Structure 1
Amino acid sequence: MTLPTEPIGSIPRPAELRAALTDSAAGRGDAVLLGELQAAAVADTIRRLEDAGSPVVTDGEQSKPSFATYPLLGMVNLAPDGAVIPFADGHVRQLPRLTKGPFRYQTQVSQYLAAATAVANVPVKQAVIAPSALSLIYPADGIDGYSREEFVEDLVNEAEADIRGALDGGAHVVQLDFTEGRLSLKLDPSGGLLEDFIALNNRVLERFTDEERARIGVHTCPGGDLDSTHSLDVDYAGLLPALFRMHAGNFYLQLASEQDPDRVLAVVAENLQPAQRVFVGVIDPIDPAIETPEIVRDRLLRAAWHISPDRLGSCDDCGFSPFGDDDSTSRETAFAKVRARVEGTALAAQMLGV
């Protein structure tokens, strides 16, 4: 056995693909050319991840407009003035607002997975958006003729189908992106919104067997967009006890950018459930400096003081480019950081004797 290591998801997209995605979003451009650019970027991303030694790869989300909104592509019952997510540097991202029911995914991740597995030589991980994030598109004042309860039931059904399609399609693991978890404590310090998010996600996860949930994971981070975050100032201790009550087998935690990782790891060790594994972030995608394998090794050895190595793995803190227009990190930097994570994890495994 060795320490497992996995990417989180997104890799910076080539400049030509970013431009084509921008044109497509504006209703112009060549759909055939866009598809060709996406296919080429997926193949190149997977090849370069494999060249970096990654034992598990992703498609780098090269074909997604963002990690959060892929199910909404082509949906006509949306308005642009939905929930606003502010980042520490002053920029914002805005979700769309649902205008009428029913709610149905227009795109499922199974199509991304099929394209990735067709060119990959190692297991493929598939990221999906957590239903809690998509719940934010339902307006606070409701929708005439389509209650929130009806929307939530539709959302749960659609999220289950998205995850199940990836599992059935042969995904090594399916990862729910739950960046809104930590953000929820900023929006509602009482923790009520977080509890609602956990309950909603568990409504979906409870539909899977124990064996299936062993292949389902949850990723949390304080956001990572244009070299800024939305909730790094929120104490992890408010999130982690609730997080580990989610019915998943794997948890991917941002940690490299934390100021006091030992404190966080102690909370993790206290709340980690018997059948759960934790992948700790050893790479900070926002930091332009490329970590050395030795830095990665030492971060994992620190984690092993708190968490048994047989329940430990490594990952990046978050995706390198969650939104399609993010060019704050180069592809070369991202792949160099991936290589450092892989090599550093192997060094830690050797020292830990696993």
Structure 2
Amino acid sequence: MQPIEGPRPLPYAPRVRIPTEPIGSIPRPPELLDAMAAHASGKIDEDGLAAARDRAVRDTIRRLEDLGSAVVTDGEQSKPSFATYPLAGLPGLSPDGVVIPFADGHTRRLPALTSGPFRYGVRAATYLRAAQAHATVPVKQAVIAPSALSLLYPPTGIDGYPREAFLDDLADEAEADIRACLDAGAHAVQLDFTEGRLSLKLDPSGGVLDAFIALNNRVLERFSDAERARIAVHTCPGGDQDSTHSLDVDYAALVPKLLQLKAGAFFVQLASEPDPDKVLQVLADHLPDGVRLFVGVTDPVDPRVETPEEVRDRVLAAARHLPADRLGTCDDCGFAPFADDTSTSRETAFAKIRARIEGTALAEQALQ
């Protein structure tokens, strides 16, 4: 009698591919910072500033491609900040809006809306098309989540423009911002949702977070399943001038609601977490079917550059909790979400990105 043969091994090992992508912002080069200051003081005109911005975008994309980044961004070189780009040139704003406090004592302040109707002054597709002119690989585009812009409406209200009318206009504008990027051929559109974790610090009951989730889903539900597969959400505890605004908020309170957002992927800060295994287990317990999770493996707030081996080990730790075929990697946050943030050098940012790309490749090899 011939022995019964077991299943034959496959002639090849299935390849585990772990995509890796930047979050968005890269520190602006000194030339651009100088041009911004010169423009503000009237020493150069708008054309001179636009030329400096274009050179910075071209250099950013070239350097990302040289590092082997399969997906690039424009580094937000032309944005005043990740949050306020839609407000450029708009009337009906005052400077005394919501104050965002950071752990080191510094603050950022949003403007406040003083009249309606609310409209975007600039759409993100403007930045996307400028980046595509220089890129040879796919370009992703970051946009601000509508929940962040909902903070523009003052608690005292606006005569003749009730909050519900504002939210209607905001949802329409946010949808148009996302749709224009999809139509322009963005690899993906990433909603920056840093205010999600902050909301739990300001309102531990979760009521503000619930309102944020509902507003964002009100916009996301307007897209088809195929479109939502190209829409992602990024969350982090804020990263500005080497400080954060909500790192002390437990992820376990955020993640179950965060993952109710109707997006195709999530980019989640993790490298700076004190207990990443705890967070990974919460993420694994709530991860929706068909969703890819990009975990942060480099910390932009930490000036030390990670080694590729450290990144590899962080990826392998994530793979012990999450299916490897639904795993990706990213930086925890953007490196300079506000244009005037020079706390991290441009060279450090690119060194960390190199470590992320090389470390993710090492993890791929280890998972074969």
Bin of the TM-score, shorter chain as denominator length: over 0.9
Trace 1:25-174 onto structure 2 (pairs within 5 A): 29-174=44-189
Specify the alignment match of 2:17 in structure 1: 2
Shift of 1:15: 1.7
Q: Single out whichever of 3-12 and 22-31 deviates more from structure 2.
A: 22-31
Specify the alignment match of 1:323 in structure 2: 338
Specify the alignment match of 1:237 in structure 2: 252
Specify the alignment match of 1:345 in structure 2: 360
Q: Hey, what's the Cα distance between the residues in 2 that align with 1:62 and 1:278?
A: 26
Q: Hey, what's the Cα distance between the residues in 1 that align with 2:98 and 2:165?
A: 20
Q: What letter is aligned with 2:26?
A: I
Query: Is residue 256 from structure 1 mapped to residue 271 from structure 2 by the alignment?
Result: yes
Does the CA contact (< 8 Å) of 1:21 and 1:324 recur in 2?
no
Q: What letter is aligned with 1:348?
A: A
Q: What letter is aligned with 1:181?
A: G
Shift of 1:29: 4.0
TM-score by length of 2: 0.94
Q: Hey, what's the Cα distance between the residues in 1 that align with 2:361 and 2:116?
A: 50
For residues 187-227 of structure 1, what are the alpha-carbon distances to aligned partners after superposition, in whole Å with 9 as ceiling and x for unaligned? 10000000000000000000000000000000000000000
Shift of 1:22: 4.1
Which secondary structure does the structure 2 equivalent of 1:239 belong to? helix
Specify the alignment match of 2:7 in structure 1: none
Q: What letter is aligned with 1:239?
A: L
Specify the alignment match of 1:215 in structure 2: 230
Q: Hey, what's the Cα distance between the residues in 2 that align with 1:69 and 1:28?
A: 24
Query: Is residue 187 from structure 1 mapped to residue 202 from structure 2 by the alignment?
Result: yes
For residues 211-257 of structure 1, what are the alpha-carbon distances to aligned partners after superposition, in whole Å with 9 as ceiling and x for unaligned? 00000000000000000000000001110000000000100000000
Shift of 1:19: 3.2
Does the CA contact (< 8 Å) of 1:256 and 1:282 recur in 2?
yes
Specify the alignment match of 1:333 in structure 2: 348
Percentage of matched positions with identical amino acids:
70
In structure 1, runs of 5+ residues without a counterpart are: none
Specify the alignment match of 1:271 in structure 2: 286
Alpha carbons of 1:85 and 1:112: their partners in 2 closer, same or farther (altered >3 Å)?
same
Q: Hey, what's the Cα distance between the residues in 1 that align with 2:318 and 2:66?
A: 27
Q: What letter is aligned with 2:128?
A: L
Q: Hey, what's the Cα distance between the residues in 1 that align with 2:173 and 2:223?
A: 14
Q: What letter is aligned with 1:296?
A: V
Which secondary structure does the structure 1 equivalent of 2:242 belong to? coil
Which secondary structure does the structure 1 equivalent of 2:190 belong to? strand
For residues 333-352 of structure 1, what are the alpha-carbon distances to aligned partners after superposition, in whole Å with 9 as ceiling and x for unaligned? 11111111001101101111
How large is the RMSD of aligned CA atoms in angstroms? 1.0
For residues 125-173 of structure 1, what are the alpha-carbon distances to aligned partners after superposition, in whole Å with 9 as ceiling and x for unaligned? 1000000000000000100000000000000000000000000000000
Task: State which of 28, 35, 58 in structure 2 corresponds to 1:20.
Answer: 35
Q: Hey, what's the Cα distance between the residues in 1 that align with 2:79 and 2:228?
A: 25
Q: What letter is aligned with 2:358?
A: E
Does the CA contact (< 8 Å) of 1:21 and 1:65 recur in 2?
no
Aligned length: 353
Task: State which of 295, 298, 301 in structure 2 corresponds to 1:283.
Answer: 298
Shift of 1:18: 1.9
Specify the alignment match of 1:196 in structure 2: 211
Q: Hey, what's the Cα distance between the residues in 2 that align with 1:118 and 1:210?
A: 28
